[in-house]
Structure 1
Amino acid sequence: MTKTFISLDRVSYTLPHGRLLFSELTETFDTTPTGLVGRNGMGKTLLARLMAGEIAPSTGRCMSTGEVRYLSQRVTQEASGTLADLAGVGTTLAALARIEAGSPHPDDFDALGDRWDIRQTLQRELEHSGLAHLDATAPAATLSGGQAMRVALIGVLLSRADFLILDEPSNHLDGPSREALIEQLTHWPKGLLVVSHDRQLLAHLPRIVELSPLGLRSYGGNYSFYAEQKASEQAAAQTNLEHHQKDKKRAERALNQQQERQERRQARGNRQRRDANQAKILLDRQKARSELSVGRLARQQAETHSQHLSAIQQAREQLAEDANIALHDIAVQPAKRMIAELTDITLSYVAGKLNLSLQGQQRLGIVGSNGSGKSTLLKLLAGQLLPQTGESRIHVKSAYLDQHLAQLDKTQSAIEQLKAANRAAPVSLLRTRLVHLGLTAEKISVACAKLSGGEQLKVALACALYADPPAQLLLLDEPSNHLDLPSLQALESMLRGYPGALVVVSHDQDFLRHLALTDYLRATSDGWVLEPATNR
C-alpha cells in the first residue's frame, strides 16, 4: 500500500508584484492530522493551494501521493447549482436517477461506479450535520453561509481523496456544527491538513505546524502543547532581547570611557608636544600614532554598535508582533444604575419572550445556533432596530461592532476616524494610542480598506474606546472571525481591560472563556436562558 504524504522541497513563492511571500520551505505532511497556524498575511492559504496543486511554486517542488482535495474558506454557491452539486455528488446522483429510470448507458454506470448508496449516504451526513431538513435538490444559492460550508464539508468528507486540505472550515459554524465537524475529522482515516485559528478544533489535531517569517516549524503536539511552547519561546525571546539591550548599554559606556581616556591622552600629548624640545619628525610620529589610535577606536565603536543593533533586531524578530499591545486607561465611568432593559421582546426562532436587564459592569456572552436572533438582539441593544413586540430602553452610550465593521469608513485612515471620534484630544496622543494597539505609523495613515481584518477591528475598537465620550456599553458580533491567533489573544487582553458593560455574540467558546464574562444568555428551542458564567 502506498504511503500517503505531501512533501515540500525548498519551496518558495513570489507574488505577482514581486514580494517574496515565503522561501525555502521543506516539510513533509503524512496521515497525522495537522493544523497549520500563522499570522495573517504569511501565506497560509497560498501554501494550502500550492500543496493541493492549484498553483505552482516559484521555485522548489511539491510532491504528493494520491488525490488531494482542497476546500476554500470561501465556499462558492453557483446560482444554478443544487445542494448535491455543492457537495460534489450532483453528477453521481443524476446518473443514479437515470439508471433507476431504466438507462442502460455505460457513461451513467461509469459516473456512478460502486456508489449505489450515495443518496442514503448523503442524507445520513446531512442529518449528522444538523441539515436533515434540507433536500439534495435544494438550490445552493438559498443556503446560508454556515449551511453552505457544512454541505461543502460533507462533500470533501464523502470524497475518496487521499489527503484533505481544509482552509478555516469552522468559520461561520455554530457550536453544534463545530462539534460535529470535529467528530467527523477525528474519524477521517487519511491525510488531513487544517488551516485554522479555532483553538477548539486545533486542540483535537495531534500536530501543529507554524508558518512564520522564519519558515515552517513543526510542533509535536496539539494546540495546548504548541501554546505552551510558544509562551516559553516568547519568554526566552524577551529575556534575550533585554540581555542584548543591556549588553549594548554596557558596551557603549565602556567605549565612551575608553574614548574619554583617549581624548585625555591626546590632550596631554598635545601639551607635551607644545612644551617639548624634540625634533619635529618625532613629534609628527607621536601625533600620527595618536590619530591612528583615535581612528581605530572610532571604527571599533561603529563595529560594536552595529553588532549590538543586529543582535537586538534579531531578538525582536523572535517576539510576536502583538506581545506588547497595551490598552490605556479608558475614561469610562461604569454606570452604577441599570444601563439597558428589554421587556417582553420576541425574536425569530426562539420561543417565548425575552426579559433582560443589564447592569453597569455586566459582561454577557450570547450563544446559540445560527439564525436564532443573536445579531438582531445586538442591534436592539444598539438602538438600530425597534422591537416588533415589547419594549427596549437603553440608558447609556453604546458602540456596536458588527461582523463586517460597517461603522468604519474604509476610505478613511485610522487617525482620521479616531480624530473625528475625539476632537478634544491632541493628535499626537491619538497616534500613540493606535501605535500601542499594534498599528504601525504607516498603517495609521492609510485607508482602512488596505488594513487586515484584525487591524480594522483594532481601529473600530479604538474609535469606540477612545471616543469623547467613550462608550459605556460595548456590543460585539463575532469579533474573533478571521483573526489569527496572536491577534485573537491581543483582542482578549484588550476586552478584559474594558471597564464598561460588554455584550459579545460568538460561537468560539475558547474566546468567550478568556473574556472574564459574568453571564451567558443562551438561545434554545425552549426560549432564552440566562445563567452565571461559572456554570459553563
Structure 2
Amino acid sequence: MANTFLTLDGVASVLPDGRTLFSDLHESFDDRPTGLVGRNGVGKSTLARMLAGHEAPARGRIGRAATTYYLAQRAADDSASSVAELAGVGEAIAALARIEAGSSDQRDFDAVDERWDMRERLLDALQAEGLGHLTPDARTSALSGGEAMRVGLLGARLCGADYLILDEPSNHLDREARSELRNWLRTWTGGLLVVSHDRELLGDMARIVELSPQGLRSYGGGYAFYAETSAQERDAAQRSLDASKLERKRAEQAMREQQERQVRRQSRGRRDAGDANLPRIMLGGRQSRSEATAGKLEQQREATREALAAKVADAARRVNEDVAPALLVPGTARVARRRVAVLQDVVLPHVRGGARTIDVVLRGNQRVGITGRNGSGKSTLLHVLAGRIAPLSGSIDVPVRVAWLDQRLATLDPARPLIVQMREAAPSVAEDTLRLRLALLGLDARKIGIPTGSLSGGERLKAALAQALVAEPPPELLLLDEPGNHLDIASLEALEAMLMQYEGALVVVSHDEAFLDRLALTDRLSPTPEGWRLLPW
C-alpha cells in the first residue's frame, strides 16, 4: 500500500488583490513520482510552495506526514546570496562557524543538529558535480542558470528529506545534466512531486496531476497517457460545443415558428371575434386570455434561450481553456545573405579555456542553435552579440536591429506594469492593439497592469517575448537564451510555431534537443577546447 505523504483538504489561494487563484483543492500525494502540469499563471508554483510549507493557504488545510525539500523555479533569485544557502545548508554551516568561533547559543547547536560535517559534505558534492571551482560562500549572482539549478539540486541530495518538491528542475540544465537528473530521480526512493513542462522528464513520472481553473485532476500513467487523454477530452469538448450550438440553432428555429403560429392564431381570433359581433366585455376577456397565454409562452421561450445559452457558454469555456496562446511573428523582411554579425578575434569575459575566443560570421539566412555544457560561455556570447557586455578584446560588428531575451529576463523592469513597458517599446502602436496582442498570449488586463515581477515565470517570459518582438523597427536578428524555460507545454508549442515563421536571423541557446529540432535550424554553434565551431545542423 502506498504511503501518503501530503494531503490537500479544501485548499484555496487568494491573491493580494482579492482574486481567487484556485480553490477547493482535494488531493493526496504518495510515494508515486508525480508530475504537476497546467497553464502558466494557474498557480502551480504557488501550490508547490504551499505543499512545502513555504506559503499558507487562504482556506483549507494541508496535512504533512513527511519532511519536505523544496527547490524553487527561480532558485538563484529566491535564495539569499551564497552557494550554501542555495543548497539549503547555509544556516547549518553558518551556525557551525559560530560554534567553532566560541558560540554556546543553543539555537546554533539546534541548527547544526547532527550535521557537523556539512561543510565538507557540500564541498565533496560540489566537486563530484563538476562544480569544484565553487565555495560554500560564493555569491549566487556569479552563477549561470545551469550552475544555480545544479547547486539547488545538490541540496535535495544533502537534505535527507522524505519528499522532494522540485519546480522546473531541468530548466537551464545542459543535456548531460538533464540525463543525470533523470537517472537520479529514477533511483529516488522517497516521495517526489515535479512541476515541469519537460516532456522527457514528465515521461518518467508514474502519474500526472493537472491544475486548472476547475481544480486538480489526477491521470494515472505518465505523460504519454496524459497527453493522449487530454487530446481526447479536447475533441470531446469541441464536439459538445458543436452539438450545443446546433441544439440552440434548432430550438431558436422551432421557437420562431411557434411564435409565428401564435401570431397567426391571434390575428385569426380577432377577425372571428369581429365577425361574430360579440359584446365588448366578452371580446375583452378573450383578448386578456390570449395575451396571458402569449406572455406565458414568451416566458417559456426566454427560459429556454437562457438555458441553451448557458449550455453553449459552459461548453465553450471547456474548449477555450485548451486554446493555445498565440505568439505573433514580428514583421521583419528577410535579410538574406547580408551579414548580421561579425566577430573577429573576440575574447569573451568570464569564460575559461578554448571557448574564450571566437571568430564567426553570421548571415541573415542562418538559424543557429547554440549548444554546450553549462558554464561554457553560451549566455556570455549572446550578451556580447546583444551589445550588453563588451568583449575583453577583438572586434564585433552587428549592423542590424536586434531583439534579445536572456535567461533572467533582464529586459523587463519587475517594478513596472507590462503595458507601460510595451508602450515605450512601440510608441506608434495603438494601446488597443498592444492589449489585444497580450490577450492572445493569455495576459489579461489585470496582469498587464501590475508589476511584471508579480507574474509567474511563464507569464514573465511571454511578457518579455512580447516586449522584444513588438519593438520598432522590427528586429532582424533574434537572440533567445533558453526561451522554453518556464513555458507551459501549449505555450512552448506556440513558440515553436512562431519561430518557424520568423524570417529574420535566429540564434537560440537551448538544452532541449526536441525543441531545437522543431525550429528548422541551419547551423549548430558549440564551444570546444579548441574554440567555437560552427557546423551544419
Alignment partners' CA distance in 2, 1:416 and 1:274: 74
Structure 1 counterpart of 2:405, which letter? L
Report deviation, 1:6.
Answer: 1.9
Show CA shifts across 1:328-354 (max 9, x none): 675432122223242433323351643
Report which stretch shifted further, 20-29 or 435-444: 435-444
The aligned residue for residue 278 of structure 2 is 278
The aligned residue for residue 126 of structure 1 is 126
Q: Is the 8 A contact 1:350 1:523 kept in 2?
A: no
The aligned residue for residue 512 of structure 1 is 516
CA change 1:384–1:169 in 2 (3 A) is closer
Report which stretch shifted further, 498-507 or 29-38: 498-507
Report deviation, 1:498.
Answer: 1.9
Q: Is the 8 A contact 1:22 1:215 kept in 2?
A: yes
Report deviation, 1:387.
Answer: 4.4
Computed over aligned residues only, the root mean square deviation of the Cα atoms, in angstroms, reads 4.0
Whether 1:421 and 2:414 are equivalent positions in the alignment is no
Alignment partners' CA distance in 2, 1:2 and 1:244: 42
Q: Which runs of 5+ in 1 are unaligned?
A: 100-105
Report deviation, 1:95.
Answer: 6.8
The aligned residue for residue 227 of structure 2 is 227
CA change 1:414–1:13 in 2 (3 A) is closer
Alignment partners' CA distance in 2, 1:60 and 1:468: 49
Alignment partners' CA distance in 2, 1:326 and 1:38: 17
Alignment partners' CA distance in 2, 1:465 and 1:320: 25
Show CA shifts across 1:247-295 (max 9, x none): 2233223322322332333333334444441233442333233323322
Alignment partners' CA distance in 1, 2:468 and 2:79: 36
Secondary structure at 1:264 match in 2? helix
Whether 1:337 and 2:337 are equivalent positions in the alignment is yes
Q: Of residues 341, 348, 352 in structure 2, which corresponds to 1:349?
A: 352
Whether 1:382 and 2:399 are equivalent positions in the alignment is no
Structure 2 counterpart of 1:133, which letter? H
Alignment partners' CA distance in 2, 1:338 and 1:524: 27
Show CA shifts across 1:33-67 (max 9, x none): 11112233333233223333444544444323232
Alignment partners' CA distance in 2, 1:469 and 1:77: 38
Alignment partners' CA distance in 2, 1:499 and 1:92: 52
Q: Is the 8 A contact 2:340 2:364 kept in 1?
A: no
Q: Is the 8 A contact 1:34 1:192 kept in 2?
A: yes
Alignment partners' CA distance in 1, 2:512 and 2:22: 30
Show CA shifts across 1:186-233 (max 9, x none): 211111112223333222222211111111111112223322222222
The aligned residue for residue 103 of structure 1 is none
Alignment partners' CA distance in 1, 2:528 and 2:99: 43
Q: Which runs of 5+ in 2 are unaligned?
A: 101-105
Secondary structure at 1:319 match in 2? helix
Q: Is the 8 A contact 1:6 1:28 kept in 2?
A: yes
Secondary structure at 1:23 match in 2? strand
Q: Is the 8 A contact 1:340 1:381 kept in 2?
A: no
CA change 1:404–1:151 in 2 (3 A) is closer
Report deviation, 1:146.
Answer: 4.1
The aligned residue for residue 266 of structure 1 is 266
TM-score where L is the length of structure 2: 0.83
The aligned residue for residue 523 of structure 1 is 527
Whether 1:499 and 2:503 are equivalent positions in the alignment is yes
Alignment partners' CA distance in 2, 1:470 and 1:107: 58
Alignment partners' CA distance in 1, 2:149 and 2:52: 19
Q: Of residues 453, 472, 475 in structure 2, which corresponds to 1:471?
A: 475
The aligned residue for residue 312 of structure 2 is 312
CA change 1:316–1:532 in 2 (3 A) is farther
The aligned residue for residue 5 of structure 1 is 5
The aligned residue for residue 103 of structure 2 is none
Secondary structure at 2:379 match in 1? helix
Alignment partners' CA distance in 2, 1:260 and 1:155: 75
Structure 2 counterpart of 1:186, which letter? R
Q: Is the 8 A contact 1:77 1:141 kept in 2?
A: no
CA change 1:212–1:244 in 2 (3 A) is same
Q: Is the 8 A contact 2:478 2:504 kept in 1?
A: yes
CA change 1:430–1:340 in 2 (3 A) is same
Alignment partners' CA distance in 1, 2:135 and 2:189: 28
CA change 1:228–1:528 in 2 (3 A) is farther
How many residue pairs are counted as aligned between the two chains? Answer: 528
Secondary structure at 2:188 match in 1? coil
Report deviation, 1:162.
Answer: 1.8
Alignment partners' CA distance in 1, 2:2 and 2:220: 24
Q: Is the 8 A contact 1:129 1:177 kept in 2?
A: no
Alignment partners' CA distance in 2, 1:56 and 1:381: 44
The aligned residue for residue 198 of structure 1 is 198
Q: Is the 8 A contact 1:335 1:472 kept in 2?
A: yes
Secondary structure at 2:359 match in 1? strand
Structure 2 counterpart of 1:83, which letter? A
Structure 1 counterpart of 2:175, which letter? G
